Amino acid sequence: MLFTRLTRSHGGRVALVAVPVGIATAIAFGGVAQGAVPVSFSVSGQQFQISADKLDGQQFSQYAGVAKDTAGNDRQVAIANIGSATLANLCQSVTTETPMGKVGVMITAGGGKTPASAKDLQIGMTDLKGDAEFHDIRIGVDASTVKGDQHGSAGDFAQDADALTIDGVQQTAWSTTAGTFTLTGMHLQLTDGSKSCF
């Protein structure tokens, strides 16, 4: 799921800003060589949506990278790492074109008193919106020195924070991995492709 650079706009909304995009290719390939980006699997040819009413996270970092698909294409992403997170009213959706028309898959969880939760969460995303609050944030830190277990390449732009809260999460991503992902009250359903998380 959740989360190039995150910054607060005048309206208080979080926006994804392409800080390193002009040199993202060189930066990202350096990161791949050092194993700094999620290359443990090939991503599909489609992005998916993730939303949540609220995300509370600890030990956040973010830097640029790439996700590679099975055709060998590199997808530029902003890599977000969160050591632990809870997500209230989580939704994930994707729509696929098939010979029989559009088919969608939607997963919901954490809609009751117990939110969904994740540990060692890493997201390769292209867009993130929401109202965000960061605690002890450092913007412009070297990606190889961010807090937490995952790091980017030396010399790359990054930011990190001890904690973050995002209300009204809307995220578009190529990949999500987690050491543990607990989906309380999970519901998976096939759709005709007309339903999505946002």
- pLDDT (tens digit, 9 = 90+) per residue, 126-185? 999 999 999 999 999 999 999 999 999 899 999 999 999 999 999 999 999 999 999 999
Q: CB neighbours of 100 closer than 8 A, spacing ≥ 6?
A: none
Q: What is the rounded CA–CA span in Å between residue 116 and residue 118?
A: 7
Determine if residue 140 is left, alpha or beta; phi over 0 gives left, psi from -120 to 50 gives alpha, anything else beta: left
- Give the predicted TM-score (pTM) of the model: 0.78
Q: What is the rounded CA–CA span in Å between residue 116 and residue 113?
A: 10
What letter would DSSP give residue 28? H
Q: What is the rounded CA–CA span in Å between residue 10 and residue 145?
A: 29
- Backbone φ and ψ for 40, nearest 5 degrees, come out as -75, -15
Indicate whether 197 belongs to any domain: no
Q: What is the rounded CA–CA span in Å between residue 31 and residue 193?
A: 35
Indicate whether 10 belongs to any domain: yes
Indicate whether 196 belongs to any domain: no
Instruction: Share the mean pLDDT of the chain.
Output: 82
Indicate whether 116 belongs to any domain: yes
Q: What is the rounded CA–CA span in Å between residue 60 and residue 58?
A: 6
E-strand spans in 69-144? Answer: 74-88, 90-98, 101-109, 116-135, 138-142
Which of 19-23, 63-67, 102-106, 158-162 is predicted with the least confidence, judged by mean pLDDT? 19-23
The total of structural domains in the chain comes to: 1
Domain of 109, in residue numbers? 5-191
* Residues, the chain: 198
Indicate whether 165 belongs to any domain: yes
